[in-house]
Structure 1
Amino acid sequence: MACAVQWSCSPQLISLGPPIAGPYLSTDALITADGARLFLRTWTPEENPRAILVALHGFNDYSNAFADAGVYWSSQDIMVYAYDQRGFGSNEQAGQWPGLDTLVNDLSQAIRIIGAAHPDQPLYLIGESMGGAVAMTALARSRLKVRGVILVAPAVWGRETMNRIYPLALWLGAHTFPWVKLSGQDLGFKPSDNNAMLIALGEDPLVIKKTRIDALYGIVNLMDAALEAAPSIRAPMLVLYGAQDEIIPKAATGKMLARLSGSPRIVIYPDGYHLLLRDLSAEVVLADISAWITGTDGKLPSGYSGEWQLFFEQ
């Protein structure tokens, strides 16, 4: 059926308001320049932190994704900030896609004000899945002032790595019935071996279960941008990927890694799934991240390193 109004059959984005004040932190929120209130969680060490870590969650998730990780890292004297990205979690209009530019702009503001709050500690950025894609795009665009970035199973399944039918079908859906919601429950993908955690996600009302088609269109646009951004990232980088990942294809990740410049540290976890930070063996991953941030000898507790190229050639 044809749309009565063309706008109603186009992908819808959360409206970004005009700047009304400088961004700032409250006790439980990041307040952006346009007045949006992004719910914020923090994990603070008992001692003076050795480093600050800004954490970005994945698609349809929210800041609680770092609940266990935040406790672990704070025990290692790393202070963690994790906010609900616009369109997710406790924020207004959750479920509606905020747009690539808005996600990147929110991150840039977060880095600026959190960095200003901790001028004497090194600032790091970590992104899981979609959060990794946002981090990559922001780093390529604006050279965020961070000491390093950790990408955990970054969402880089861009169109150039997809079956050609998928982008066409997605474009048609996003421009014909963008409001329709889809569930991925019947696709059979296994995001983690931690079944108790997956059950908890299914029961959590803040985790989005059914996704608007235009939001799917938006995340693919973001993955395109992240894949394109790979050669332009100059920050020191730790990239983590699970050999059992069923969400972001191995081929797409391999293509992204081949495009990275500099000398990124790349670790493949043989038993790891997409949600590496919450898998049954998550503590190994968390320890590697902590060691990379605070260590001086370059060694990672897991011992996984070296010939990652062989994994992607198999």
Structure 2
Amino acid sequence: MSTEEGTHTLPDGLKAYSKAWKTTESPRAILVFIHGFSDHCNTHYDLFPTLAASGIEVRAFDQRGWGRTFNGLKDRGNSGSTTVVLADMHSFIASVATQAQAQSIPLFLAGHSMGGGQVLNYVLHPDSPYRQAGSQPKLAGLLVLSPLIALDPASRPWGFIVSAGRVVAKLLPRMQRHSPLTQKSVIADFQADDLCHETGTFGGLAGMLDRGLWLENLSKNQLEGVDILPMWLAHGDQDRITSHPATKRLAELLAEKGDVVFTSYEGAYHKLQAELPDTRAQFCRDVSNWILGKSGENQSKL
């Protein structure tokens, strides 16, 4: 396994930090990974090296306003509107898809937390660039990890705070707000990482919550005519940041229309790839096994 750092040019010209975890031999699959709120692509412990060791190349980038992708302190957390967020994702995914398709390698997409909500919106929302004719990267499957569909009650702000925040988001969308996360696992590492700055903008936070709200209210009627990718959704049942029940409900809805599996990790918290050693190792195996299982199905169709 080797790593390779680089940059990806986003649609408006901003240079995003990117990184690849490469396999020793030709990859059996490629995974694009979308990180969460106040996170970046170098915080996922054993997950990416484990996947690379099993033949799965990982590609990731620091999203706009997060990690190393910002033009100064004033731009920290300035992720932009949902249109910008999905366009940024689409440009990165499409660039990887071109290579994967040229080499006949199955391409998978994964997202954690805020990123989990983003990848669901990316493949399901009618306004997503993925859903537009002629622009759809070929994806073999979707992995959705502790997604932001709804916040857990322990992390949910009061209604009047949300309402006031939405007013500010309309008037001053780039105004920054410190929004600390309460997570029981790896909190020391998280707090020691200067790139996990817990600072969003009112506009970005409103967009993040709106993307979750759309997923939470998703109905069968809205899924009519939508091709559901093979999906694996995973969530720790002790997560106190995003809602485990909300993920389970959405997985059950999607399973009525496609190959969708929900895995619950007993006693685990928000970041499964950073859990205690036994849970972390099992989670890494589960991710690898699901991708390789679906890779075999897709390669037989090539």
TM-score range, shorter chain: 0.7 to 0.9
CA positional deviation for 1:204: 1.1
Deviations 1:15-59 (A, max 9, x none): xxxxxxxxxxx9501112332211001100111110000000001
In structure 1, distance between residues paired with 2:294 and 2:81: 38
Q: For residues 235 and 288 of structure 1, what CA distance do their matches in structure 2 show?
A: 18
Q: Which of structures 1 and 2 has the bigger CA Rg?
A: 1
1:265 to 2:261 alignment: yes
- Residue 66 of structure 1: SS of its match in structure 2? coil
What secondary structure is seen at the aligned counterpart in 2 of 1:220? Answer: helix
Match of 1:291 in 2: 289
1:163 Cα offset (Å) = 6.7
* 1:77 counterpart = 2:55: yes
- CA shift for structure 1 position 175: 4.7
Residues in 2 aligned to 1:31 and 1:182: alpha-carbon distance in whole angstroms: 28
Q: Which residue of structure 1 lines up, in the alignment, with residue 145 of structure 2? A: 152
Q: In 2 relative to 1, CA 131–288 (structure 1 residues): closer, same or farther, beyond 3 Å?
A: same
Given residue 199 of structure 1, which amino acid in structure 2 is its aligned partner? A
| Residue aligned with 1:284, SS | helix
Q: Give me the whole-angstrom Cα distance separating, in 1, the residues matched to 2:15 and 2:50.
A: 27
Q: 2:163 aligns with which of 144, 161, 168?
A: 168
Counterpart-to-counterpart distance in 2, 1:174 and 1:154? 23
Scaled by the length of structure 2, what TM-score is found?
A: 0.78
Q: For residue 110 of structure 2, what is the aligned residue in structure 1?
A: 126
Instruction: Give the whole-Å Cα distance in 1 for the aligned partners of 2:192 and 2:157.
Output: 31
- CA–CA distance in 1 between the matches of 2:178 and 2:109? 31
Q: How does 1:243-254 map to 2 (within 5 A)?
A: 243-254=237-248
The question of 1:61 aligning with 2:61 is answered no
Q: Is the 8 A contact 1:247 1:274 kept in 2?
A: yes
Deviation at 1:257, TM superposition (A): 2.5
Q: Secondary structure at 1:295's aligned position in 2?
A: helix
In the other structure, the counterpart of 1:139 is 123
Query: TM-score, length-normalised on structure 1?
Result: 0.75
Q: Deviations over 1:199-258 (max 9, x none)?
A: 122111111234444432222122124445684461100000111110112343243234
* Equivalence map 1:193-272=2 (5 Å): 193=185, 197-227=186-216, 231=223, 232=226, 234-260=228-254, 261-272=257-268
Whole-angstrom CA distance in 1 between matches of 2:48 and 2:287: 12
Tell me, yes or no, if the aligned pair for 1:136 and 1:233 is still in contact at 8 Å.
no
Superposed CA RMSD? 2.7
Which structure 2 residue ranges, 5 or more long, are not aligned? 132-136, 297-302
Asked if structure 1 preserves the Cα contact closer than 8 Å seen for 2:19 and 2:61, the reply is: yes
Give CA deviations for 1:159-185 in whole Å, capped at 9, x if unaligned: xx9975454243244356762523436
Whole-angstrom distance in 2 between the partners of 1:138 and 1:233: 13
Among all aligned residue pairs of Structure 1 and Structure 2, give the percentage whose two residues are the same amino acid.
26
Instruction: Report whether the alignment pairs 1:282 with 2:263.
Output: no
Cα contact 2:37–2:198 (8 A) shared by 1: no
CA distance in 1, matches of 2:50, 2:218: 31
* Contact map agreement 1:192 1:279 (CA 8 A) in 2: no
Q: 2:93 aligns with which of 111, 116, 135?
A: 111
Distance 1:183 1:163 in 2: 14
